[in-house]
Structure 1
């Protein structure tokens, strides 16, 4: 039984988009976020416990991912370097939580929430419940989402409109660097060279490289949506 939960040739290696196991994790994520928001004030005394719990989830999931790939003989420069957007966000979230740096927060608020939400809705995942990779994948992405929300709801950090611009420019700088890495290695990190094999949002955005241009507009639109709650708050404060 244990081997089936960790093996690369597991009977649970058939994850299906919007299957029961997928819908359950989506609902669980929504409930977790809603509960986090509702009880943000009662959770204030436990802020350090929450912060270290998120750090444990982020670091632990990344270590497990690499160790698992090494053990099964699948670790590769082409697939397992931390150059996918969510992998990059894991490291940014880790440093943000350790340092409580505002500049990291305003970047990860947009990159983390937009990227990890899309990953949970259309995951590039090939292992279903109860395989260990199923849990590792969703724990990592839920932790990415909760990290900037922790900084917002528990630590009281706020976003300004300039943060939208800085985050968007940072995303493009990261993408440019990763593109060069892809060219050098023949890899496809951040899906800058071709679409992923699984069903994703990119399937609706046209062929390569047209979907990259569409992604620019979608990313900026999502960043504006994520800024909107702070815009409302800032406007209300100005009126008052």
Structure 2
């Protein structure tokens, strides 16, 4: 069967780490995050119907990312139980973040905030991806991971689900419970979801964490450090500075 080049699962231009297209994708995602931060007050002050429409639209895009991926697997005759189920950390984060947009669940927000953002960021910087721009898989991959980050920041900055140190704990619990369940599936299917049985074939952060199974323990330490730093740098310090500004304005009046 002949496939269009942008859909071909077998004969496509390979992805090159930090190529021009990869750097453009990183830059575009960074720009979207910055724009959301700059316009967070405007979005927050918009009507509840507008915010609801934004949440539903984002959720539909996120569910759509997974649906079209599964359809592509089937179309390309590459779907398999060992590689195609949505059991990677970012796949789980994508679907649950979409659910978070629809439910505004504080429990989901706490579980996903740091795990979802950190996992998506690492995937964006060191993608486990075999297709270069403008292949469908390249576009779907970066769209899905960008949506995870934007959805979680949206729920924090606009919908004002405030994180705390409990969110760091919640994300660690989520990652470990997910890993435990997925490892059972890996053993059952002889698969390697979440890279719990060996490292990916493409370059990744795991290469710096030692051989199997030591890199899994390294991931645990890295996750605690990353989640804690993210909370302090992105939320705790800005909130403290904001409170000082407000107190200064109040005393001036």
TM (norm. structure 1) is 0.94
Other-structure match for 2:9: 8
Question: 3-state SS of the aligned residue for 1:198?
Answer: coil
Q: Does 1:185 align with 2:182?
A: no
Whichever of the two has the greater Rg, that structure is 2
Matches of 1:191 and 1:2, distance apart in 2? 30
Q: Does 1:157 align with 2:161?
A: yes
Matches of 1:41 and 1:10, distance apart in 2? 46
Question: Of residues 214, 230, 233 in structure 1, which corresponds to 2:235?
Answer: 230
Q: How does 1:73-112 map to 2 (within 5 A)?
A: 73-112=77-116
Matches of 2:169 and 2:56, distance apart in 1? 30
CA 2–194 in structure 1, closer or farther in 2 if over 3 Å, else same: closer
Q: Shift of residue 160 of structure 1?
A: 1.2
CA 10–42 in structure 1, closer or farther in 2 if over 3 Å, else same: farther
37-46 or 203-212, larger mean C-alpha shift = 37-46
Q: Does 1:142 align with 2:116?
A: no
Other-structure match for 1:201: 205
Gaps in structure 2 of 5+ consecutive residues: 248-253
Matches of 2:54 and 2:31, distance apart in 1? 17
1:148-176 CA distance string (max 9 Å, x none) = 10001111110111221122122111111
CA 125–136 in structure 1, closer or farther in 2 if over 3 Å, else same: same
Q: Does 1:18 align with 2:6?
A: no
Matches of 1:205 and 1:230, distance apart in 2? 28
Matches of 1:234 and 1:131, distance apart in 2? 41
Aligned residues: 239
Q: Shift of residue 2 of structure 1?
A: 7.9
Matches of 1:10 and 1:54, distance apart in 2? 32
1:106-148 CA distance string (max 9 Å, x none) = 1111111010000000011111111111111111000001011
Question: 3-state SS of the aligned residue for 2:5?
Answer: helix
Gaps in structure 1 of 5+ consecutive residues: none
Q: How does 1:115-126 map to 2 (within 5 A)?
A: 115-126=119-130
Q: Does 1:60 align with 2:64?
A: yes
Q: Shift of residue 8 of structure 1?
A: 1.3
CA 104–3 in structure 1, closer or farther in 2 if over 3 Å, else same: same
35-44 or 2-11, larger mean C-alpha shift = 2-11
Other-structure match for 1:34: 34
CA 38–2 in structure 1, closer or farther in 2 if over 3 Å, else same: farther
Other-structure match for 2:250: none
Superposed structure 1 runs of 4+ greater than 4 Å apart: 233-240
Q: Shift of residue 233 of structure 1?
A: 5.0
Question: 3-state SS of the aligned residue for 1:74?
Answer: coil
